[in-house]
Structure 1
Amino acid sequence: MNNRKVTRARYRFVALDVSKYRLLFIALLVGLGTGLLSSLFRLILARLATFRTTFQIGEIDQGWQDWLWPMLFTFFGIWFSIFLVKKYAPETAGSGIQEIEGALDGLRPIRWRKVLPVKFIASLFSLSSGLLLGREGPTVQIGANVGKMADDIFKQPVEEDNPLISAGAASGLASAFNAPFAGIIFVIEEMNGHFKFNFYSVAALMIGAGSADMVVRLLVGGGPILKTTIFTFEELSGIWLFVLLGLVLSVVGIMFNKFLIKSLDLFKKLKVSYITIALCMAFIITAVGLYSEDMIGAGYTTISHVYNSSFTLKFLLALFVVRFILSILSYGSGVPGGIFTPLITLGIILGMLFGGIAQYFFPDLVPDPAIFGVAGMAGIFASTIRAPLTGLALSVEMTANYELILPLIFTAVTASVCTTMLGNTPIYATLLKRALQTEKF
């Protein structure tokens, strides 16, 4: 009798292990699928990025061509993107990360049959139009929907929804920035109230993020996304400057979050047609872009120019203010797109501005202002998203500045703690609450 009980228990354990191994195998498929879609997304987006400013229109005079084609291209991209979102899948507007958090709590549906094509196509148009939006929001939502698709196809138990959707989200962030560790940390930290934490779910995250990053490196390319100087940090007497930068960024984070919500409310209250919104945004983006291309777009080119060009402090301040306003308006317009990249760009600009001022007053403590640019990435992420570990991981993986972990910790912790004490709610929690109150489909 006792032998029978032992045998039954052994069979149960074997069955349990088999089901968990099956989960990990499906997580691998989710990572590979997300990496493939993200690679295709990035490759197409890279082609479209130059199309806006290089297309020639017949024999039109160059003066007209400078603004007419970018205006038309931007207008159509914004209009078509909003049209797809409003008509077929409203949950694809904006980043989509709040939708994933709601889905993990069972508060929002995941309609992957509609979301995958709409998010993919609409995001290509919105991101290539010159709006200040990032590719990470679309890839995270696409990855999570791939996770739900795999869950439905393989008919997984209901309790397996969470790790597969989470693995897809981690894969999406990893494949957007070549940052698998940040993808894992983001789900654990930012989605900690939604993610069901256990050994196998964490293993699924790691497998998904790692396999997605592997596919992207094979198809798109490896290495850090941002090509910057590799710094060392040995002068501990200047650590207080990173704390001070964190204080500044905590205030910036509060302002960004509040104005972002106000922008969404403003566009909703206007009750104007898609054409009007697209026309107004196209005019603004084109006019600003004609003055300086660094003031529009996701920010990768801007970051490169900020690091490699000798911009004056006055221009850096103007660049920060303009990009701050346009980032908020871009997201508020209702097109799909993420806020990570625009935020990172703002953090780098503000960090460089802070570093330039600090170098003027404390030249012995600041050998290179660019070191504060890297710290600004982590700090602004910590103050807006309230995810300091993710900000730290992203900053290090995107720049390969592993020796800056110590000062980045001081900046990120200061920014997140101070912004919390000042009452700043994490932006995705606010966006989810708003979506639950105002959007039904």
Structure 2
Amino acid sequence: MLWPLSTRHKRLFRLTSARWQRRAIFLLGGIGVGATAVALAQLADLAQHAFALLLAKSRYAVLAVTPLGFVLSAYLTIRLFPNAQGSGIPQAIAARHLTDQSARESLVSIRIAIGKTILTLLGLLCGGSVGREGPTVQVGASIMFALGRVSPRRQPGLILAGAAAGVAAAFNTPLAGIVFGIEEMSRAFETRTSSLIIAAVIAAGLTSLALAGNYAYFGSSAMSLARGTDWLAVPLCGVAGGLAGGLFSRIVIAMARGFKNPLGYAIKDHPLWFAFACGIAVAICGLVSGDTIYGTGYVQVKTALEHSSPLPPDFGVLKLLATTFAAISGIPGGIFSPSLAVGAGIGSNIASFFHDAPLGAIMLLGMVSYFAGVVQAPITAFVIVTEMTDNHGMVVPLMAAALIAHATSRMICEEGIYHALAKGFVERATRPHGAKAPHASN
């Protein structure tokens, strides 16, 4: 004979069921984000390989392919996938701060995730200096948002978990994913959701391991700063990377906010022509560089680190210019990998002043410095570079360089690029329906 459940037992059953349902959503979402990250990584490699085949046929074809590709990407973004432009991380941050469901859905949704994936691949296919990691964050947040529609009050935590899992799976850096979620996405440690976020990161990481295997993004290295004079490279890289990263962020933020002058009005009124001009600029940078600055920059940096060979002297500057033009053009694409490539170029140039120092170690200092200067998240910067190179002997100098770069960057740009851009998305999402935006470029 079955005894009827008491009111207390019914309440306990409902609480337990809701708790396990919440855990299942985080775990299933993590698996989905991990699988999507691996698929996007493989498709991105294919897109860059296809572009390399085009270069092998005619390197001057970029003068037509790259600007036309930028125009097509910008057109599709405006017409079909609004709010898919740029990195995608500002959209995820903004979605966490919004409370209206429809406003959130305009920034993170399955529709946005599909558009982001397609248009990021298009950007790489036409030679844009963009990365796939930022888009993976927006896609991850979109997947979690879709799974969490049954519980709207849990969606800020789900979006945070999706973003953290996206970083972890994109780079195979689980610690960096967790730190990114705390330092950059939420700017706080949330005790109530911390264990569930870690579970999502673990699920995404295990899925990535199962599909792509265990690997260090830039390969394993044991290089370190040996002599006392080698440590002078730490403040040099920190200051140079912080200045360059702060300048990049300031330009991108200023372009996003727009200019109240004829040039700013022209950019807003003719976004496709502006995308075309940015594509031409990227193509010229590519031709001047000898075809080294297209795409993510991953192959060039990994080759230089593995063989301890310097990058071309103009690589850092030209990669910085190409990434800037891609970032302000309005096409979807991230800045994670291109920023690390720019930093590697800066480090390679600084290493020329230290003839007996290990080249790879100073390149790592340049990478962490420029990245910390751009995002102004020093802990995420040194953790992600450490995990990507599996080099724990460089932890202390990487930490020091990241902190110096962060302080230097803030003298040029008061706020990190992601949070500054997120404010614009929040303002547009909360603007009363039908209200006109100020006549300035978005």
TM-score category of the 2 structures, normalised to the smaller one: 0.7 to 0.9
Structure-1 residue corresponding to 2:273: 276
- For residues 250 and 116 of structure 1, the distance between their equivalents in structure 2, rounded to whole angstroms, comes to 32
Structure 2 residue 328 is matched with structure 1 residue 332 = yes
Structure-2 residue corresponding to 1:189: 183
- For residues 275 and 418 of structure 1, the distance between their equivalents in structure 2, rounded to whole angstroms, comes to 35
SS at match of 1:434: helix
Counting only pairs closer than 5 Å after superposition, residues 251-400 of structure 1 correspond to structure 2 as 251-264=243-256, 265=258, 269-271=266-268, 273=270, 276-291=273-288, 292-307=290-305, 308=307, 310-311=309-310, 315-316=312-313, 318-357=314-353, 359-360=354-355, 363=356, 366=357, 368-400=358-390
Calculate the TM-score normalised by the size of structure 2: 0.85
C-alpha offsets along residues 319-370 of structure 1, whole Å, 9 cap, x if unaligned? 222111111110100001111111111111112222221x14xx4xx2x122
Structure-2 residue corresponding to 1:3: none
Contact 2:247 2:412 in 1 (8 A): no
- For residues 351 and 140 of structure 1, the distance between their equivalents in structure 2, rounded to whole angstroms, comes to 27
Calculate the TM-score normalised by the size of structure 1: 0.85
SS at match of 1:164: helix
Structure 2 residue 433 is matched with structure 1 residue 435 = no
- For residues 374 and 12 of structure 2, the distance between their equivalents in structure 1, rounded to whole angstroms, comes to 44
SS at match of 2:176: helix
CA RMSD of aligned residues (A): 2.8
Of 110, 126, 131, the match for 2:128: 131
- Residue 394 of structure 1: how far off its partner (Å): 0.7
- For residues 241 and 48 of structure 2, the distance between their equivalents in structure 1, rounded to whole angstroms, comes to 30
- Residue 189 of structure 1: how far off its partner (Å): 0.5
SS at match of 2:352: helix
- For residues 423 and 84 of structure 1, the distance between their equivalents in structure 2, rounded to whole angstroms, comes to 31
- For residues 74 and 418 of structure 1, the distance between their equivalents in structure 2, rounded to whole angstroms, comes to 34
Contact 2:285 2:321 in 1 (8 A): no
Q: Could you say if the C-alpha distance between residues 306 and 438 of structure 1 is closer, same or farther in structure 2, counting changes exceeding 3 Å?
A: farther
Contact 2:131 2:296 in 1 (8 A): yes
Contact 2:73 2:331 in 1 (8 A): yes
Structure-1 residue corresponding to 2:212: 220
Q: Could you say if the C-alpha distance between residues 394 and 416 of structure 1 is closer, same or farther in structure 2, counting changes exceeding 3 Å?
A: same
- Residue 438 of structure 1: how far off its partner (Å): 5.7
- Residue 235 of structure 1: how far off its partner (Å): 4.4
Of 204, 229, 236, the match for 2:196: 204
Structure 2 residue 60 is matched with structure 1 residue 67 = yes
Q: Give the aligned residue type for 1:335.
A: I
- Residue 252 of structure 1: how far off its partner (Å): 1.9
Contact 2:47 2:124 in 1 (8 A): no
Q: Give the aligned residue type for 2:233.
A: L
- For residues 297 and 221 of structure 2, the distance between their equivalents in structure 1, rounded to whole angstroms, comes to 18
- Residue 280 of structure 1: how far off its partner (Å): 3.2
Q: Could you say if the C-alpha distance between residues 56 and 95 of structure 1 is closer, same or farther in structure 2, counting changes exceeding 3 Å?
A: closer
SS at match of 1:133: coil
Report how many aligned residue pairs link the two structures: 414
Structure-1 residue corresponding to 2:402: 412
Q: Percent identity?
A: 25
- For residues 328 and 9 of structure 1, the distance between their equivalents in structure 2, rounded to whole angstroms, comes to 60
Contact 2:309 2:359 in 1 (8 A): no
Structure 2 residue 172 is matched with structure 1 residue 174 = no
- For residues 265 and 421 of structure 2, the distance between their equivalents in structure 1, rounded to whole angstroms, comes to 14
